[in-house]
Amino acid sequence: MTKKFLRFVPSFSRDAWLYLVNTFFAGLMFGLQYLFFNLYILKLGYNQEFIGLLASISALSTAILALPFGVLIPKFGNKRSLLAGTFLQIVAFLGWSLLPARFTLLLASALFGAGYCLISVNAAPFMAAITTPDKRTALFSMQFSLNTLAGVVASGIGGVLPPFFAHIFGVPAEGATTYRVILLIAMGVTVISLVPLALLRGERSPTSSAPAFSERVAGHQPIVIKLTVAQFIIALGAGILIPFVNVFYKLRFDLPDPVLGGLFAISSLAMGLSALFVPALVKRLGKIRMMILTQLFSIPFLILMGFSATFSLSAFGYLMRTALMSMNLPIFSAYAMGIVSGRLRAVTSSLLVLSWNGGWAAGSFISGHIQSEVGFSTVFLLTASLYLVASGIVYTFFHSIDDIVGVEYNIYNDQNKV
């Protein structure tokens, strides 16, 4: 299985490798931001409802700008868009770290969402353009795996940074000053990630005379709209819970930062390793079947995570849920980019980013209110219910289409292997 995956690696293009290097540094940044940002906001004196508002503002900014960016990016260019998005994230880190008033925190979150939008709307079309269809799932999986494995490094480093700064500067290990310095370190990593982007040659789409898959599967033209609906439900469930995992473990089990960092490191490792097996599993089961099975199997572990009396059982549930749900992301992106023509990829990607971040924003905003009123139990039940609904929607919309598109995809690969 591993050999079958690795045979794709040497033939990735120069731009693909540079983008993978950028992905690693971006993963380091996101790992540090995910681990400490919410804790930083709490130490500034704000409550969980405000944390939910910040998360929803960032996601809402991404959702609002997704369609305009999808139209403008083909004219502006992938390389310049990726550079601009990264620069906006750097500015956001400066705002969060140096101007921690309520308004500037909200503004910085909106800028971070705008930067993330430029990057995420670009990601799938850009990767589709710099590789051939037979290597596309491998590249998408490799990109996702590197991003999450970078989170292992970030969580490992993050676990030791607070006591290190406490010893060096004589500040509380779990205080606002310590967390602020860590956010500035994350900003520095983001600056480094600009280097491989600057070395990109730019767009380089593989040529092919084959028609788009959406044109070859005549009866299923609304498939992209159906994908956006399914993704919105999944994102709604994820947005209710995932931005608050560190808050949940702090409040429920009073975990110290090193233990929390270790948990997130193992979680990122589970995500990265599971993504490596995606190409082989997709070949055996099909993309849609894989999405349905991973969503359904994640639900019992989600319940175990939220309602276990001991940290060890809860952590096991969290790790298994994370590994299973993380398999969906590269599958979903590769599937969507494979069924539309090159000229429609940016718009399709923007629709998917819109649906994901719209659901994430709504979920984060709702969750902040729920946590303040009734606690985390309702949060877990809502997320599990939405995952179940999403699985039913995916099955209803796509279980027959997956067979048709899979046949077309395999025929196209057989004719175009290099």
Q: Tens digits of per-residue pLDDT, 202-257?
A: 654 433 444 444 444 334 456 677 778 888 998 899 889 988 888 899 888 888 87
Q: For residue 22, name the pLDDT band (cuts at 50, 70, 90).
A: very high
Q: Is the pLDDT of residue 280 over 90?
A: no
In a 10 Å sphere around its CB, with 0-12 CB exposed, 13-18 middle and 19+ buried, how is residue 2 labelled? exposed
Amino acid at 106: L
In a 10 Å sphere around its CB, with 0-12 CB exposed, 13-18 middle and 19+ buried, how is residue 203 labelled? middle
Distance separating alpha carbons of residues 66 and 69, to the nearest angstrom: 5
The reported pLDDT for the residue numbered 52 is: 83
Amino acid at 104: T
For a pLDDT cut of 90, what percent of the chain falls above it? 26
Higher pLDDT, 148 or 239: 239
The reported pLDDT for the residue numbered 174 is: 84
pLDDT tens digits, one per residue of 34-85? 888 988 999 998 888 898 889 889 888 888 888 888 778 777 888 888 999 9
The DSSP call for residue 392 is H
Q: Is the pLDDT of residue 12 over 80?
A: no
The reported pLDDT for the residue numbered 236 is: 92
Amino acid at 149: L
Give me the residue spans of the domains in the chain.
2-202+213-416
The reported pLDDT for the residue numbered 94 is: 95
Q: For residue 187, name the pLDDT band (cuts at 50, 70, 90).
A: very high
DSSP string of 295-330?
HHHHHHHHHHHHH-SSHHHHHHHHHHHHHHHHTHHH
Distance separating alpha carbons of residues 327 and 320, to the nearest angstrom: 11
The reported pLDDT for the residue numbered 305 is: 94
Q: Is the pLDDT of residue 343 over 70?
A: no
Closest among 24, 104, 114 to 69, alpha carbons compared:
114
Amino acid at 228: T
**C-alpha dihedral sign at 412, 138, 190, 200:** negative
Mean pLDDT of the 328-341 span: 70
Most confident option among 248-262, 297-311, 329-343: 297-311
Distance separating alpha carbons of residues 51 and 247, to the nearest angstrom: 10
**Ranges 104-108, 121-125, 166-170, 336-340: which has the least confidence:** 336-340
Residue 418's Cβ-side half-sphere holds a number of Cα atoms within 13 Å equal to 15
The reported pLDDT for the residue numbered 342 is: 61
Mean pLDDT of the 266-275 span: 78
Q: In this structure, how many other beta carbons lie within 10 angstroms of the beta carbon of residue 353? A: 28
The reported pLDDT for the residue numbered 65 is: 87
Residue partners of 335: CB distance under 8 A and separation at least 6: 227, 287, 288, 405
Distance separating alpha carbons of residues 301 and 334, to the nearest angstrom: 26
> Hey, is 136 helix, strand or coil?
helix
Distance separating alpha carbons of residues 207 and 189, to the nearest angstrom: 35
Residue 380's Cβ-side half-sphere holds a number of Cα atoms within 13 Å equal to 20
Q: Is the pLDDT of residue 271 over 70?
A: yes
Higher pLDDT, 327 or 89: 89
* Averaged pLDDT of the chain: 80
Distance separating alpha carbons of residues 193 and 30, to the nearest angstrom: 12
The reported pLDDT for the residue numbered 217 is: 37
> Hey, is 252 helix, strand or coil?
helix
**Ranges 102-111, 378-387, 393-402: which has the least confidence:** 393-402
Residue partners of 35: CB distance under 8 A and separation at least 6: 154, 155, 158, 246, 260, 261, 264
DSSP string of 238-253?
HHHHGGGHHHHHHHHH
Q: Is the pLDDT of residue 10 over 60?
A: no
Distance separating alpha carbons of residues 204 and 141, to the nearest angstrom: 20
Quick one: CATH architecture of 2-202+213-416? Answer: Up-down Bundle (1.20)
Amino acid at 315: A
pTM for the complete prediction? 0.70
Mean pLDDT of the 143-164 span: 82
Mean pLDDT of the 313-326 span: 90
